[in-house]
Amino acid sequence: MTGELSPIDKAKFVAAKQATDYVEDGMRVGLGTGSTAAWLVRCLGEMVREQGLRIKGVPTSTRTAELAREVGIEVISLDEAKWLDVTIDGADEFDADLNLIKGGGGALLQEKIVATASDQMVVIADIGKEVETLGSFPLPVEVVPFGWQTTQALIEETLVSMDVLGRTTTMRMNGAAPFVTDEGNHILDLHLNRIGDARQLAMVLNQMPGVVENGLFIDICDAVVVGYGDGRVEVR
Ligand code: 5RP
């Protein structure tokens, strides 16, 4: 499954592999989105096929659903599952309090809904995702298409009074057209550089008309499994 991996892929793979320890027979498992989460889905698929592991997976995006089915994992909807034992997902940044920025892959809305409906959320990440203060990675904010430029202007205006360094926002593009999420929305990326009060920013953003959800995951993550390029793994 792995062949010869680059250090970054090895770090993602070992974190994903280690995180399979959180999954037990019979569990309902939230399956994250992104390149690290894809390793997890492949590892779990191997356990299903070769060890007879029985799990039901709730994917956080159409691409994760496709991969899960491809590797042999039974896929069900969140409403069928109702509640999950564990969700395992990647992240774009995590800090010492296990707060996260997510949504680099555009799946933050389903990811947050699924993680919140789980007994436990475990993040898998390479060590490059660890930060002292969140904000170097542009913060994704999912907005409805209607009036998105007005929503963007409102966000920029509001950022002036917030504890952040940068204030530029950009519409995420897919070629010449705005990127469209699985829920039919767009993503504004907020280039903030440093987020002083992530909890407050998350609340303020979600109160704005036009904003569906933001990529700050505050008090949602229970553990981060960190992988290194030399194959070491640590749990935070
Ligand atoms: C997708 C996400 C991903 O988990 C995040 O972007 C990390 O991706 P990768 O594992 O490819 O670095 O939040 O919306």
Nearest protein CA to atom 8 of ligand 1, as residue: 34
Question: ipTM > 0.90?
Answer: yes
In angstroms, what CA-CA distances link 233 with 44, 49, 137, 166, 188?
18, 25, 23, 33, 33
Per DSSP, helices labelled H in 72-228 are: 78-81, 108-116, 148-159, 198-206
Cβ–Cβ < 8 Å for 143, 156: no
Alpha carbons 216 and 219: distance in angstroms, whole number? 10
CA 146 distance to own-chain centroid: 25
Of residues 46, 50, 111, 142, which has the active-site annotation? Answer: 111
Q: Could you report the per-residue pLDDT of 91-131, keeping only the tens digit for each?
A: 999 999 999 999 999 999 999 999 999 999 999 999 999 99
Q: Distance, CA 154 to ligand 1 centroid (Å)?
A: 27
**Residues in the chain where the model's pLDDT stays below 50:** none
Amino acid residing at 195:
I
In this prediction the pTM is: 0.97
Pocket of ligand 1 (CB under 6 A): 32-37, 89-92, 102-108, 111
